[in-house]
Amino acid sequence: MRLEYIKNKIRTIDDFPKKGIQFKDITTLLADANGLRYTTDLFAERYQNSGLTKIVALEARGFIFGSSLADRLQVGFVPIRKKGKLPYKTVSISYALEYGTDTMEMHEDALNKNDKVIIIDDLLATGGTALAATELVEKFQCHIHEIAFVINLSDLPGQKRLSEAKKQIYSLLTY
The catalytic residues are 61, 98
143 assigned to some structural domain: yes
Query: CA of 77: how far to CAs of 15, 108, 163, in Å?
Result: 35, 14, 25
pLDDT tens for 26-40 read: 999 999 999 999 999
What is the pLDDT, as a whole number, of residue 100? 84
Q: Is 38 a member of any domain? A: no
Q: What three-state secondary structure class fits 75? A: coil
H or E stretch including 95?
strand 90-97
18 falls within a domain: no
DSSP 8-state code for residue 10: S
Low-confidence ranges of the chain (pLDDT < 70): none
pTM assigned to the model = 0.96
Q: Within a 10 A sphere around the Cβ of 45, how many other Cβ atoms?
A: 11
Residue 68: count other Cβ atoms within 10 Å of its Cβ. Answer: 21
Which pLDDT score, from 0 to 100, does residue 97 have?
A: 80
pLDDT of residue 95: 93
CA 164, chain centre distance (Å): 18
Looking at the structure of the chain, the number of domains it has is: 1
Query: Residue 71 has what pLDDT?
Result: 98
Q: Which of 139, 121, 148, 103 is nearest to 24 (CA)?
A: 121
Q: Which residues of 127-138 are buried (b: 16+ CB within 10 A; e: fewer)?
A: bbbbbbbbebbe
Residue 10 lies in a domain: no
E-only strand ranges, 5-65: 11-14, 22-25, 54-58
The chain-wide mean pLDDT, for the chain, equals: 97
Element (H or E) spanning 64, and its range? helix 61-73
pLDDT of residue 6: 98
Nearest to 148 by CA among 128, 116, 121: 121
Q: Do the domain assignments include residue 37?
A: no
Is residue 11, in this structure, part of any structural domain at all? no
> Which CATH number is 90's domain given?
3.40.50.2020
- Structural domain boundaries enclosing 94: 50-174
What letter does residue 88 receive in the DSSP assignment? Answer: S
